[in-house]
Structure 1
Amino acid sequence: MTHDEIYERITSILKGEEDWITAMATVTCELHNAFEHFHWTGFYRTTSPGILKIGPYQGGHGCLVIPFEKGICGAAARTGETQDVPNVHERPEHIACSSTTNSEIVVPIKKTTGEVVAVLDVDSDRKAAFSNADKQLVEQICDWLGREYHFVEKAIS
């Protein structure tokens, strides 16, 4: 499947779905199984100011809690910007939830107000694993989730 086909598949499956947890679980499953180099795929949700907690994911165990001030996921949540890290060992703030992770991309999901409600984290055991097309797909999905699930604050309170 192409990146465009994966995006269309995800948005088609979730058409009319109102449950945020269902949406996160579905996105995680579809992305994780679509790409061989996506070794850990999952969400961290903003559960209180400055705190991310693990949401639906596929792969080995993830970190349960990540403060906004820590790690690549925290940087994405804190800045509201995508973190594309070809080599996590070159980022001193990287939290090694898995010792095999070598590259990572983390994309924030924002409410229409700009507030970050979650991040989508994709890790790979390979260095520089993620192409520009991978990054654009994950960003496109996160933008769509932010628009489609604008009421998400009800689901995470």
Structure 2
Amino acid sequence: MNVDASNKVLIRRHSAFNTLQQPLFYYSPESGDIDPEPNIRLEASGWLIDFEKVIAGASRVIFFRHIGRHYISLGDRVFEIGEKKSSVKHRRGILVSELKIIDERGGEHAVKYVTPWWRLIFDDGSHPDLQFPLEAFSKQYANI
């Protein structure tokens, strides 16, 4: 992990409803601590996704930017995404979806979660980040 421990990153909890009214937190990548920030009008540098029905892997995923670099935190592990760094992939399944990070050594770190049936039915493709945030943010980071 290449995140300066003295810096905290402002992240917003992701939600399909009233997204910009969701709580903000200061996230410390080094310790994994998350502390509330009461001013929800501040601009966040990342997204906290902790509402998926995880069946294997970390129950908390954080996508964030810090000093021009892109990171994904799976539980207590932080991965820098980019060339000669870690890479990210996502596979959406009918019953189970998977977010997978391949670190610079080739190790695989995955989060498997239940694909909500209602998202499959109501997903019209206009706002994939609201229906499938792990997939949408993974695709953004995969193209870096």
Q: Same fold (TM over 0.5)?
A: no
Structure with greater helix share of residues: 1
TM bucket normalised to smaller: 0.3 to 0.5
More strand by share: 2
TM-score (normalizing by structure 1): 0.35
Q: Which has the higher contact order (CA 8 A, sep 6+)?
A: 1
* TM-score, with structure 2 as normaliser: 0.37
